[in-house]
Copies of this chain bind each other. A is one copy, B any other.
Amino acid sequence: MHKMPAMLTVPPKVSFKAQMYQAREAAILASACRLLGEKAFDLMTMDDVANAVGIAKASLYKHFGSKEALCTAAMVQMLGRVQTYLASLPAQTPALEKLHALLRWSLEQLLGNQMPLLPGRHSGLRAVLMANQDYRAGLRALSEQIGAWITEAQAQGLIDPGLPLVVVQYTLYARACDPALCLLKEGGQYSDAEIVELVLRTCFDGLVAR
């Protein structure tokens, strides 16, 4: 039995294999995103990921060379997702509404047990991410986009012009990994949608009465 001509049989087969490979890689990333939403980077193990995906741990390392590489890829993907979402907003949307939409999107991710847009205060992941060029580039692009909207909203007198730009930026970033969300969700007293609106309100309007 000799081999079939390669051109007739192989092209669809390698395509299929490549598809399977990419599908598996996507599944790994998805599991990592979910697990990083449930526990911190340092508490998530590669065994967790392997079990969640349903493959052997060694197979993970054929896709990602290290835990850091996997989680970095997951975070970069997340940055890309938020940028895709932001790009999908109608161009004529007012700047302040875009900021609302951004924060709402981030909070919905958190409540859906997805990984936060930014790593928390002292996550071991932070140093790793900041050493990664792709991540830094994505974060810078996002920051500039948000910064432009903030400046616009300040010029319109909708965001307090007395607040320095970075303060507004970091305040929004911090809300994207806000522990108050978890506490409210654990309380079980409010629906996810109510929690999102309450946190949005405390962020933009503050605690004091108007």
A contact set with B: CB distance below 8 Å:
38-40, 42-43, 96, 116, 118, 120-124, 157-161, 163-164, 166-168, 170-174, 177-180, 182-184, 187, 189, 198-199, 201-210
Contact = CB atoms under 8 A, between A and B. Distances in A.
Contacts of A199: 171
Given A43-B122, A121-B182, A124-B43, A206 B209 contact: no
10 contacts: A40-B40, A120-B122, A159-B207, A159-B209, A160-B208, A161-B209, A167-B184, A171-B202, A173-B179, A173-B183
Q: In the assembly, how many copies of this chain are there? A: 2
A158 B178 CA distance: 24
A120 B123 CA distance: 10
B198 A206 contact: no
A201 to B, nearest CB: 7
B184 A166 contact: yes
The list of the 5 closest CB pairs from A to B, nearest first, reads A206-B206, A174-B180, A170-B180, A40-B122, A121-B179
